[in-house]
Chains A and B, each alone.
Chain A
Amino acid sequence: MRLVLTGNYAAAYAAKAAKVEVVSAYPITPQTQVVEKLSEFIERGEMNARYIRVESEHSAMAACIGAAMAGARVFTATSAHGLIYMSEMLWWAAGARLPIVMGVITRAMAPPWSIWSDHCDLLSLRDIGWIIYFCENAQEVFDTIIQAYKVAENEEVLLPAMVGWDAFQTSHTAEPVDVLSPDEVSKYLPPRRPLPYVIDFERPFTHGSLCYPDRYMEFRYLMDLSMSKAKKAIVEADEEYGDLFGRKYGGVLEKYLCEDAEIAVVTMGVLSGDARYAVDILRKEGYKVGLVRLRVVRPFPSSELKKELKSKKLVCVIDRNISIGRGGILGTEIKALLKNSSANVVNVVAGIGGRDVSYEDIVNIVKRSLDLVEKGEVPEYMWYGIDKEYVVKAVGEYYEPPAL
């Protein structure tokens, strides 16, 4: 069924198609449409599910944990302050190995208040044991949420999954979406198998009690092991989805015109559409450029990225996030991957707090990066789009991270 849906509505339809049994969420801009739509579905009896209208995001994730512990398939969604507010419980969900799926509509953190996108909220939680997907458009949001359940519930994996998409540009932009029905999806996604880690009165167990240093480390090791297995599961889930429903996304990475490319642009999320357009323009101008879009941040596609990027002349990583004092988070990871290769990595921080990044900007970024590589002046990272006049007026100087 084709419907014109925003990214947020697509998420709600995906939760319905996945036969989610418990939703627990707390409203925050720009996530609200997701939970409003789900309330409608549940109150109209279109979903056989319970909606727990909690009083905070901390409780939203706690209720998801409780429901998942009792064997239910659960869904929630949040954004920025909500995500950070629930962060204690996000560790708990991962450590408890519960296959919860959560939509994260990325939004800049205050102060100052902002409701527009950047990826600092989501990426600040990259080390806690959640699988992290990131989508480019509403269709991908729909498809990825269903795939995420397949991966999270895989018994080799059993880790929760966040599915990210950008505030407004994806969350509130309507586009035609091919919506699958719960029946169609059930061919792909069987009901959640309750074992293990599910409350059972015949087989009582204690979960999460004090663990001494002689065992705790193994629990963390096992999470890491499962995360490494998640990569194969993600690729297989995408393939199987493609075989059944005709859409797939390249597993962990989507590549565009990469085969003969000497320059690779690396992006994530909604900017990728403009980046693809910029690649077309640069190609016409004679630049051999391609695009690598990260679809998954955890497990990090290390070997896939390395294989794709190691012999490029320029790898231009556009980060819609900033690790204050270190640069872009993805750029930092990719630099570490390519340290023994001939590739030059230019890490560009752009689009923070919803700042627009057009295809022209991306064309500019690529040309400037190439120039820096040719001059041998590659900086640790660089900010793109800062109003220098404003900064100089405010603090008397403009700072550029130095060349390394």
Chain B
Amino acid sequence: MSHPLFKVIPKEEYFLPGTPACPGCPAALGLRLLLKALGPKTVIVIPACCSSIIQGAYPRSAIKVPLINIAFAASAATASGIAEALELKGIGDANVVVWAGDGGTADIGLQGLSGAAERGHNIIYVCYDNEAYMNTGIQRSGATPYMAWTTTTPTGKREIKKDIPLIVAMHRVPYVATAALAYPQDYVMKLRKAAAKKGFKYIHLLAPCPPGWRFDSSKTIEISRLAVETGTWVLYEIEDGKFRLTGPSKGLIDKSKRKPVAEYLRTQGRFSHLSDEDMAKIQKIVDENWEWIKRWLEG
């Protein structure tokens, strides 16, 4: 009990061990932390994705809260129905949570996500972003970053990553945040903040995936940390319309504080084919993103 993490993150487990997740799986860790943060009065809605598998197969389940599996595009609308019906039945204090991959969020599920966000149901939508369709064998998604190898972009993706948290923020929902597994307190605090607010809340968790990104399964957290330290992934929250950097990202506005993006890219086989020019271009994309952030912060 003495470890400072336990002050924020309860010891109770709602995601039992022995699942078929790959070693080092970010989805398993992300969901485990989510359940610790939100506790037993939580219902999870999961569309088709790796998490359909890692929860365990019938008749067993690794998840100790009500869990509804649903079609790939349908998670946000299903959660809308659950949230409305629970409220009508006087159960307004339950957490109705979508746990979806980037494909189920940025691509096939985007319409449903946008609809639910606009309608403002009392839901927490969490996207764990492993930046491709991993369940079906590493195909590109709208959230796959520029030049990343996938099985459908064998020479690297030519388009840049779709920015879902900002798209959701443009629906003027009460809470949008990003998170990274290397900073579990930040992630858990954001989940708790989301749970305390009424309405549609969105959290986007970067989820480095060993087989999909081509790195050793011991390195998930390390790579998550590098994503933040290089500024490739930015930790922030937009609370009632107010943008704020959180965790280590607060100190990275000054470019000199950020590690070169190449340090992050070189850890992953999916970027092993990159030329120096590609690296430079990605560095530019990251720097430009920070210019935007600077402008927002200056108001």
Contacts and interface: CB of A to CB of B under 8 A. Distances in A.
A172 interface: no
B61 A206 contact: yes
A206 B63 CA distance: 7
Interface string B59-101: 1010111111111011111111111111111010010000000
A69 interface: yes
Contacts of B199: none
Nearest to A53: B119
Nearest to B81: A66
A201 B111 contact: no
Contact of B61 (A55, A92, A201, A209): A209
Interface residues of B, number: 48
B59 A215 contact: yes
Contacts of B94: 201
* Interface size of A as a range: 35 or more
A55 B66 CA distance: 26
B179 interface: no
A208 B68 contact: yes
B81 A22 contact: yes
B68 A62 contact: no
A65 B88 CA distance: 15
B85 A59 contact: no
A24 interface: yes
Given A62-B112, A66-B80, A92 B71 contact: yes
A21 B85 contact: yes
Contact of B57 (A64, A68, A209): A209
A204 B66 contact: yes
Contacts of B139: none
A63 B70 CA distance: 11
A207 interface: yes
Interface string B32-68: 0000000011010100000011011111010111111
Contacts of B118: 55
B68 A68 contact: no
B66 A199 contact: yes
B66 A66 contact: no
B114 interface: yes
Interface string A22-59: 10100000000000000000000000111011111011
B73 A50 contact: no
Given A56-B111, A58-B112, A209 B52 contact: yes
Interface string A53-96: 11110111011111111111010000000000000110010000
B115 interface: yes
A62 B82 contact: no
Nearest to A212: B57
A70 B68 CA distance: 10
Contact of B79 (A48, A66, A72): A66
A24 B112 CA distance: 13
A210 interface: yes
Contact of A210 (B53, B80, B112, B114): B53
A205 B66 contact: yes
B45 A210 contact: no
A207 B55 CA distance: 11
A70 B86 contact: yes
A312 B43 CA distance: 57
A204 B64 contact: yes
A205 B52 CA distance: 14
Contact of B58 (A67, A204, A210): A210
B81 A67 contact: yes
A21 B74 CA distance: 21
Given A209-B61, A215-B58, 19 more contacts: A22-B84, A50-B85, A52-B81, A54-B119, A55-B114, A63-B77, A63-B78, A64-B81, A65-B70, A66-B80, A68-B85, A71-B89, A72-B88, A89-B71, A199-B66, A201-B43, A206-B55, A206-B69, A207-B66
Interface of B: 40-41, 43, 45, 52-53, 55-59, 61, 63-71, 73-89, 91, 94, 111-112, 114-116, 118-119, 121
